[in-house]
A and B are shown apart, each in its own frame.
Chain A
Amino acid sequence: KNEVEQSPQNLTAQEGEFITINCSYSVGISALHWLQQHPGGGIVSLFMLSSGKKKHGRLIATINIQEKHSSLHITASHPRDSAVYICAGPMGEDTDKLIFGTGTRLQVFP
């Protein structure tokens, strides 16, 4: 059974802090997704990665295929970063059906 686990479940930070959210999965993947969900529900795709590291603005995502682990980093966090961050990986080998982590709820205070 494939599982995607995230930590921490909840995270609070002061504006400007560096934030790390972790994701571990149990099945070899073709790609892992990081998503952002704001209050009200809208989902935004942040990253899809299968190796190495990707950067977009203040967001950085890394993945270690051997260790089946990915991290999402936010530099110079801001209150507008407050959201639920979700990682998702394939349900199994040779499939692009996704299984989702339970999410990390981030609150950044000014």
Chain B
Amino acid sequence: GAVVSQHPSWVICKSGTSVKIECRSLDFQATTMFWYRQFPKQSLMLMATSNEGSKATYEQGVEKDKFLINHASLTLSTLTVTSAHPEDSSFYICSARDGYYEQYFGPGTRLTVT
């Protein structure tokens, strides 16, 4: 089956710094990638939809200047958390769609901001 990877799997950063998370589709081309966030004991929430070569579409309440998404190729999307704050600590998950309607999920990245 299709594989989506994320890097890093976990990261600790200091408040005020920026951190980049990568999402890669390893064996297929992803026309669309989705970024989700999950707080402890809560469900996943969609943050933004990323289409290759165009600007991401952010969900209501998600700050686009804080969560920068770049989908520069059909196999890579990146999420950069800028000027991170402790409240940004969360589990970030991406999924990738292969041009049909099936979505494949990455394993997630746990971000801790100290």
Contact = CB atoms under 8 A, between A and B. Distances in A.
Interface residues of A, number: 21
A33 B101 CA distance: 11
A103 B43 contact: yes
Nearest to A38: B107
Interface in A42-62: 42-45, 48
A100 B54 CA distance: 26
A7 interface: no
A110 interface: no
Contacts, number: 49
A41 B109 CA distance: 9
A97 B105 CA distance: 13
A105 to B, nearest CB: 10
B110 interface: yes
Interface string B83-114: 00000000101010100011111111010000
A30 interface: yes
Interface in A36-93: 41-45, 48, 86, 88, 91
Contact of A96 (B101, B104, B110): B101
B5 to A, nearest CB: 11
B108 A48 contact: no
A30 B101 CA distance: 8
Interface of A: 30-31, 33, 35, 41-45, 48, 86, 88, 91, 96-103
Pairs A-B, 3 closest by C-beta atoms: A42-B107, A100-B43, A100-B44
